[in-house]
Amino acid sequence: MSNIQASATALEQAIRESDEFKDLKGAYDAVMTDEIAKKMFDDFRNTQMELQQKQMQGIEITQEEVDQARKVVETVQQHEQISKLMEQEQRVNELINNISRTITKPLEELYGSEA
Amino acid sequence: MSNIQASATALEQAIRESDEFKDLKGAYDAVMTDEIAKKMFDDFRNTQMELQQKQMQGIEITQEEVDQARKVVETVQQHEQISKLMEQEQRVNELINNISRTITKPLEELYGSEA
Ligand SMILES: [Ca+2]
Ligand SMILES: [Ca+2]
């Protein structure tokens, strides 16, 4: 196994054992085992994905869709378990972004060296 | 320093010391220190970025632009040093993609666990 693969696997294990990931898993499981919360969360994710896909395909998003999406967000934010899950997702995203910045430093330094 | 930060730094170091990264750096420096190669490569990158930005903004790309971009690609591919650089970039991209797949496994497992 290369140094890189060994280091990547060690990092994967560190992520798995981190408070951030464990808390995310706890929050995710809490939502997924609550039928109503799960349905609300699934609706929220589906709405988000539909809008994202439209944006990527350059399809115009109507005011009605924007309003509808805002309503769904407001509803899930008021749900304690879902809002906790979204908070934990945010924390893990930040963690992954920090890792990403660290491991792409060699490339940034290389490409940033051009005057 | 957390386990995660220590592991990410170890991984960064392993990337920096890898053949893939060293070869990329060698190929990059070879192009950047050759005035003609550097200009060709910069033109190529600028053309690519312009087209990407247009695509992201949903601006239509004309047939003329497509033809022009293809011509630029064909020209740089015939340049030995640039084509070597592009090959090394491809290798490092694969390396980074593999790392990315490894460290996002915990998240994939979590979100993939939903029936
Ligand atoms: Ca802690
Ligand atoms: Ca080797």
For residue A21, which residues of chain B lie inside 8 Å, CB to CB?
Answer: 106-107
Residue B113 is predicted with a pLDDT of 60
Q: In the structure, what pLDDT confidence band is assigned to residue A115 with cuts at 50, 70 and 90? A: very low
ipTM metric: 0.82
For domain A3-112, the CATH superfamily is YheA/YmcA-like (1.20.1500.10)
Distance CA B34, CA B101 (A): 36
Residue A57 is predicted with a pLDDT of 84
Cβ separation of B12 and A102 shorter than 8 Å? Answer: yes
pLDDT digits (tens, 9 = 90+) for A97-112: 999 999 999 999 998 8
Calculate the alpha carbon distances from B30 to A115, B15, B21, B77, B85 in Å. Answer: 15, 20, 14, 15, 9
Domains in chain A: boundaries:
3-112
For chain A positions 32-91, those within 8 Å of chain B (CB to CB) are: 32, 58
Q: Of the candidates B18, B28, B114, which has its C-beta nearest A4's C-beta? A: B18
Tokens 């003329």 belong to which residue? B64
Task: Classify domain B19-112 at the CATH topology level.
Answer: YheA-like fold (1.20.1500)
